[in-house]
Chain A
């Protein structure tokens, strides 16, 4: 025995385990995008290229996996959609916010649906839904800060609620899936609606 330090082996193992965990989450998200229902553990394992046992070695149950996938998606979604053009003029801010929101809806609608389906069973999932909604409202508040600043508290809240409803995930889904609108056409619907809902922009 030489007394060699075993740290690199442990680190390597941890890295492999993290990578497996990541691939399982990505497999779960990929399956949601291809099939509109919550995937089974066998499907996830097969897609990730691991055994079902490997899945449950990293996640005690499928709910934990759903929560981990949601956290991953929230982090990724936030990184993909940084706040831009907050100091620009009204049309630029509306276009910017709609463009980002459309991108989020295109990318994350299946996960959003899966998250909401049967979320009643889990306080943790409910908390994450509330967090996502809160982030959406905060973003709307920042992007349309100049216009909303002209309203009193109650009217500001009412306008934000209406903006949230108009730009909801399912609003996007109806335009794209039920009405067959292109991304550009659907964005145009939102741009027109937001412009009508917002009060006049105060003079600089």
Chain B
């Protein structure tokens, strides 16, 4: 058997490093498709999908899933990380220097869109989070990110208050802008996106301390 490379292949012949890179890229792509299949199934059914359903949706075998994720909890964690990254890119801070009504509107609109997009996944992940410390930690991180965002959006109002009032206001805002609060308005009370946004905007307006006068 002649193992010498055909000189005609020259520079285009795949080198070992290229082969490894190609394999890694394919593996990454498979991993991403599995994560996306999981998220699509959760959005459609509102329930935790099985390995068979995920494999079928992604177009791979069940074995392929478990080659990339040791168990379904590891997959759920990867899905959460993917969702956090996507949500952070999606919900960039805007209107930080705008007046009070514009900041409230901006915060409510962004939060409403986040709830619309991520509610099913949030429900599935948070219903199981007690069983995995890693998942629990990520759920807390998502909450913290949401709180940090509100602190930045409403910094002028919060900056004038004592720590105690600030903390109380943040806790109330967090409860108000919770995923399930949005879900109740949309699913139980059948409010439109705009109506639900109005409920939140009016309530935030009442909960926030006065805006300090610009120096």
> Which of A's residues lie within 8 Å of B, judged by CB?
36-37, 116-118, 120, 130, 133, 155, 157-159, 161-162, 164-168, 170-171, 174-175, 178-179, 188-190, 192-193, 196-197
Contact partners of B46 in chain A: CB under 8 A: 120
* Residue in B172, B178, B188 whose beta carbon sits within 8 Å of that of A170 in the complex: B178
A37 touches B131 (CB 8 A): yes
Interface hit among B13-21, B72-80, B82-90, B202-210: B202-210
* Residue in B127, B130, B172, B181 whose beta carbon sits within 8 Å of that of A192 in the complex: B172
Q: What is the chain A residue whose CB lies nearest that of B45? A: A120
Render B171-215 as a binary contact track against A, CB cut-off 8 A, 1 for contact.
110111010110011001100000000111011001100000000
CA distance A189 to B46 in the complex (A): 33
A197 touches B203 (CB 8 A): yes
Q: What is the chain B residue whose CB lies nearest that of A175? A: B171
* Docked complex: B105-158 residues within 8 A CB-CB of A: 127, 130-131, 140, 143
Q: In the assembled complex, how far is the CB of residue A68 from the closest CB belonging to chain B, in whole angstroms?
A: 22
Is the contact region of chain A dominated by helix, strand, or loop, or is it mixed? Answer: helix
Given contacts A37-B131, A161-B189, A162-B203, contact A179 B181 (CB under 8 A): no
Q: In the assembled complex, how far is the CB of residue A34 from the closest CB belonging to chain B, in whole angstroms?
A: 13
B175 touches A188 (CB 8 A): no
B176 touches A162 (CB 8 A): yes
> Which of B's residues lie within 8 Å of A, judged by CB?
46-47, 127, 130-131, 140, 143, 165, 167-168, 171-172, 174-176, 178, 180-181, 184-185, 188-189, 198-200, 202-203, 206-207
CA distance A179 to B147 in the complex (A): 12
Extra contacts, 18 of them, besides A133-B184, A196-B207 (Cβ < 8 A), are: A37-B130, A155-B202, A157-B189, A158-B199, A159-B203, A162-B176, A162-B200, A162-B203, A164-B184, A165-B176, A165-B178, A165-B203, A166-B175, A170-B180, A171-B171, A171-B174, A178-B143, A197-B207
CA distance A155 to B200 in the complex (A): 12
Contact partners of A157 in chain B: CB under 8 A: 189
* Residue in A37, A166, A168 whose beta carbon sits within 8 Å of that of B180 in the complex: A168
Central interface residue in B140, B176, B180, by most chain A CB within 10 Å: B176
Central interface residue in B171, B198, B199, by most chain A CB within 10 Å: B171
B202 touches A192 (CB 8 A): no
CA distance A117 to B189 in the complex (A): 21
CA distance A174 to B46 in the complex (A): 24
* Residue in A118, A162, A193 whose beta carbon sits within 8 Å of that of B168 in the complex: A193
CA distance A116 to B126 in the complex (A): 11
CA distance A199 to B207 in the complex (A): 12
* Residue in A36, A130, A171 whose beta carbon sits within 8 Å of that of B175 in the complex: A171
Contact partners of B143 in chain A: CB under 8 A: 174, 178
Contact partners of B167 in chain A: CB under 8 A: 189
B175 touches A197 (CB 8 A): no
Given contacts A36-B130, A161-B189, A165-B176, contact A179 B171 (CB under 8 A): yes
B171 touches A189 (CB 8 A): yes
B172 touches A168 (CB 8 A): no
Q: In the assembled complex, how far is the CB of residue A53 from the closest CB belonging to chain B, in whole angstroms?
A: 29
Contact partners of A189 in chain B: CB under 8 A: 167-168, 171-172
Q: In the assembled complex, how far is the CB of residue A129 from the closest CB belonging to chain B, in whole angstroms?
A: 10
Contact partners of A159 in chain B: CB under 8 A: 203
CA distance A118 to B198 in the complex (A): 31
Q: What is the chain A residue whose CB lies nearest that of B140? A: A178
Central interface residue in A157, A165, A178, A192, by most chain B CB within 10 Å: A165
